[in-house]
Amino acid sequence: MKVAGFDAPGGPEVLRLADAPVPVPGPGEVLVRVAFAGVNRPDVIQRQGFYPPPPGASPIPGLEIAGAVVALGEGVEPALLGQQVCALVSGGGYAEYCLAVADHCLPVPADLPLDQAAALPETLFTVWHNVFERGWAKEGETILVHGGTSGIGSMAIMLGKLFGLTVIVTCGGADKCAQALKIGADHAIDYKAQDFVTEVARITDGQGVHLVLDMVAGDYVMRNLKCLADDGRHVTIAVQGGVRAELNMAEVMRRRLCLTGSTLRPRSNQFKALLAQEIARMAWPLVESGQLRPVMDRAFPLAEASAAHARMEAGSHIGKIVLAVG
């Protein structure tokens, strides 16, 4: 099979097509003939050499796929054979065939194009877990989301609105703010032209937000805490602004703030299966009804994975980038 991988870390240009053996599904696994694979920020960080795959995972990038199940491992329900699924995977998505844990697969509705199906698992699993499970978001609350037009940001907007949240986002530029409002955000702050702490205070009449979904970390953390209402929750899912933050812990204590965060890829198969079950029950009906659809940016052929990474790094994309594989 053809795969898009790299021999040594580097810029987007290190990604190239290569041949690799088709993997064989083990117990509890399925083999998917990949139609589309999602491109995500962790893929870029892996290619740069800073996010190695967990033990046992494929070294080939790619954390989400959509396609047809063509082979089953031991113990897998026979009805899955031939089904179109999308799946969260620990690696190997940039390939013509990819292994997935059967319990990490979700059925693709008949009216959902496979490019959109491939754009769902990583962002949906990430946002659901961090906003609703770790962040305890509930109807009527207000959330601040950084990177409002990214794949994660756009999913957070849509899921937030579907579950009764008021969504404030930050974006880099007036055009991206307009796009975020079009996606469904209640308020969009241009962080290049406005101080988001001041704007959040204005929008919330000084009350602050109940939850911050943070992809920046670094010096954003203390500013984020200033945006939080008392008893607010701060959830970090990426560290694009740096891994270190200086905090006033007395302020955390006085205002009873909760700081948490997570990474999804290294979590156990059992955890991801339980998360998939909850998503299938709570969020997937919204996909099946057509109420939840990913915001799509561009599709690149597998052979142009380097161009897809370059576009993501340039930061000009709105929504999800995918690779057309099969």
pLDDT per position as a tens digit, 174-225: 999 999 999 999 999 999 999 999 999 999 999 999 999 999 999 999 999 9
pLDDT level of residue 148 (50, 70, 90 thresholds)? very high
pLDDT level of residue 326 (50, 70, 90 thresholds)? confident
Q: Tell me the longest C-alpha to C-alpha distance in the chain.
A: 59
Q: What is the pTM of this model?
A: 0.96
Bridge partner residues of 17 (DSSP)? 4
Distances, alpha carbon 189 to alpha carbons 173, 192, 285, 286, in Å: 9, 9, 31, 28
pLDDT at 65 over 90: yes
CB atoms within 10 A of CB 214: 27
Q: pLDDT for 70-104, tens place per residue?
A: 999 999 999 999 999 999 999 999 999 999 999 99
Which residue segments constitute the domains of the chain, with CATH numbers given? 2-120+265-324 (3.90.180.10), 124-261 (3.40.50.720)
Q: Which candidate, 288, 292, 278, places its Cα nearest to that of 159?
A: 292
Per cent of the chain over pLDDT 70 is 100
Q: Which candidate, 193, 194, 188, places its Cα nearest to that of 176?
A: 188
- Residue 250 confidence (pLDDT): 97
Q: What is the mean pLDDT of the chain?
A: 97
Alpha-carbon radius of gyration of the chain: 19
